[in-house]
Amino acid sequence: MSSERQARGLGMGLSALLGEAARPEAPVAAGGVREIEIARIRPNPNQPRIRFDEESIQELADSIAERGVLQPILLRPEGQDAYQIIAGERRWRAAQKAQLHTIPAIVREGIDEATTAELALIENIQREDLNAIEEAEAYRQLINRYGHGQEQVGKLVHKSRSHVANLLRLLDLPEYVKQSLLQGDISMGHARAVAAAPDPAELTREIVAKGLSVRQAEARARRAKQGPKELVLTAERKVDADLVALERQLGDMLGLKVEVTHKGAGGTVVLTYRSLDQLDLICQRLSGEPI
């Protein structure tokens, strides 16, 4: 399958594979979903997630024990009488904790290992389940393994090219900084702030030790890079800097271009999207509905 053909097919999202069952509230076509024994299911060895939050999985397991699995997982046949997960490993792990013997699943024939790996990357990114480092690694895999450019990756996962580029830059940070981000000791905003510092690892240690906010980290990065005398800002420039920081934080969270305009006591927030699929993702994230 050519890179162009893969991009067109995968760009339709997992809903193209899941059909209407991609939304738990939608009716499922007869025969589309079936119960598969959990013991016959294997995880995807190319799963992009590095860490699984056990507390989060336990919460999901408690929900599954009470209400069942609301959304089927996606599988492909693997060998004789076995299956490999394409999407839904968290639900599979949680179902085991809930002591279920079977789980609702959709089985798709004819999906090869490469496409399975790529779909797993895209599914995790679209669901916002990944840490920033894991997401950046997923983007790098899509670029290096499948030959996609940053613009194409952005279209596949319905995020802006600048968001993809910003995350990829995180992979150039020192190992200590990346591990701190991976473990949740610092946020993506912190990581972007320390990237501008002469010694990112030293500033990261200060952030962790003192519990610095993103704006405090940005101020320390500027101080270390420019010197105190150059940091005398007028009130207007400080407001502008705060708005830029806010735009970056919102952009990082949504994966979109965000513009904030503030006048007097109010203002506007503008989100830029390029497709109806991207708009749909924005609505779901803002409403808290499952993607």
State whether 107 and 168 are in the same domain.
no
pLDDT at 29 over 50: no
**Mean pLDDT for all residues in the chain:** 76
Query: Is the pLDDT score of 96 beyond 90?
Result: yes
How far apart, in whole angstroms, are the C-alpha atoms of residue 113 and residue 118?
9
Instruction: Supply the pLDDT for residue 61.
Output: 92
Does residue 89 have an active-site annotation? Answer: yes
User: In 3-state terms, what secondary structure has residue 48?
Assistant: coil
Task: Check which CATH number belongs to the domain holding 19 and give it.
Answer: 3.90.1530.30
Distance in angstroms (rounded) separating the CA atoms of residues 195 and 177: 9
Q: What residues form DSSP beta bridges with 261?
A: 268
> Average pLDDT for residues 50-57, to the nearest whole number?
76
Domain end position, chosen among 129, 158, 187? 158
**Residue 267: CATH number of its domain:** 1.10.10
- 36 and 146, same domain (yes or no): yes
pLDDT of 47 = 67
Q: Clarify whether residues 150 and 177 are in a common domain.
A: no
Highest mean predicted confidence (pLDDT) among 45-49, 143-147, 171-175, 259-263:
171-175
Containing domain of residue 195, as a range? 163-274
pLDDT top residue among 156 and 238: 156
Residue 18 has pLDDT above 80, yes or no: no
Do 142 and 21 lie in a common domain? yes
The reply to whether 116 and 191 lie within a common domain is: no
| Same domain membership, residue 134 and residue 69 | yes
| pLDDT tens-digit map of 177-196 | 999 998 889 988 899 889 88
288 within a domain of the structure (yes/no): no
Name the more confident of 134 and 84: 84
Number of domains in the chain: 2
Q: What is the DSSP letter of 110?
A: S
| Domain end point (choices 111, 128, 158) | 158
Per-residue pLDDT at 143: 87
CA dihedral of residues 112, 118, 119, 125 (deg, nearest 10): 170
Task: State the pLDDT confidence band at 62, using cuts at 50, 70 and 90.
Answer: very high
Instruction: Please indicate, yes or no, if residue 279 is contained in any of the structural domains.
Output: no
Share of the chain above pLDDT 90, in %: 22
User: Average pLDDT in the 212-233 region?
Assistant: 72
Reported confidence tier of residue 49, pLDDT bands at 50, 70, 90: low
Based on the fold, state whether residues 40 and 63 are members of the same structural domain.
Answer: yes
d(CA 117, CA 47): 7
What pTM was computed for the model? 0.55
Closest CA to 213 of 245, 239, 171, 252: 245
Mean pLDDT in residue range 63-77? 90
- Indicate which residue of 20, 59, 89, 123 is catalytic: 89
Q: Are residues 222 and 259 in the same domain?
A: yes
* pLDDT band of 235, cuts 50, 70, 90: very low
Once rounded to an integer, what is the mean pLDDT over residues 217-224? 85
**Cα–Cα distance, 202 to 173 (Å, whole number):** 12
